Amino acid sequence: MKSVFFTGATGGLGEVCVRALAARGWQVFAAGTNADKLAALAKIPGVIPLHCDVMDDASVQAARAEVLRHTDRLDAVVNFAGLTAFASLVEGDPVPAARRMVEVNLMGMVRINAALFGLVHAARGRIVNCSSSAGWMTAQPFAGAYVASKRAVEGYSDSLRRELIFLGIPVVKLQPGPFRTGMMDDIHRGFEQTLADSPLYGHRLRRLRGILLAALGRPRAPQELVGKLLRALEDARPRRQYRAGSPRLLLALEVLPEGMIDALFRLAARWAGRG
């Protein structure tokens, strides 16, 4: 039985992935912070729940010690834990939220991979890092901290992949767009909070609500991402990246020069400012 350490297991989409992996015959070390959801995952055959806060070194090391009680090797690590938000980079106090975003989305990944690499190396396994469509598509306003963290994940993953080429360990990027999960609810709540609290942008955002939310695209069913995750884990020669659910409107923008995209935002800003 192949084994995988999976962070973010108690998130909505993470839980779906954990259940799919267990059904596929993987032994899943399901790492998360929600005690009730960990208890529910414990009832699934093949799932070993672990409380693990990826922002805390001691918590990560404790999770590693628990894995070693069961095995001395891992066929894969999946870094799925992540946060998102809709917020300004200049209004209020953006620093704590941006710091937390980087701490979870990037540094949590760095901690987990460093702590568990010896087990992956022993199995000649692989590492799957969850990035986002925001990591490679043109940046959108009011998503700066999230975009910065995911672009950092892209650079980190590319550099790690080229480092581990020398050891024969694949590093794969998973790049999902929006899916029907609680994370999408967080984005919508952040949008509404910004509308309510922002003296700089609130009136403009009200007029642009439809455009900004349409840019996210219609959230997809999680099964599409599960399929790409399984390929990232099970393909004999995995690709460097697997994309799923990329927003179509943002894909259309990808063919335009950055200057033209800026011009479109200026037009939208002038139109919104007339309201």
pLDDT tens string 212-243:
666 665 667 788 899 999 999 999 999 999 99
The whole-model pTM stands at 0.90
For residue 178, how many C-alpha atoms fall within 13 Å in the half-sphere facing its CB? 21
Q: What pLDDT shows up at residue 140?
A: 86
Q: Indicate the pLDDT class of residue 263, thresholds 50, 70 and 90.
A: very high
Q: What pLDDT shows up at residue 222?
A: 81
**Phi and psi angles of residue 209, each rounded to the nearest 5 degrees, phi first:** -50, -50
Q: Is the pLDDT of residue 158 over 80?
A: yes
Which tens digits make up the pLDDT trace of 86-121? 888 998 889 999 999 999 999 999 999 999 999 999
Q: Which residues of 83-95 are buried (b: 16+ CB within 10 A; e: fewer)?
A: bbbbbbbeeeebe
Q: What pLDDT shows up at residue 180?
A: 63
Q: How far apart are CA 268 and CA 248, in angstroms?
A: 19
Q: What pLDDT shows up at residue 267?
A: 84
Q: What pLDDT shows up at residue 183?
A: 63
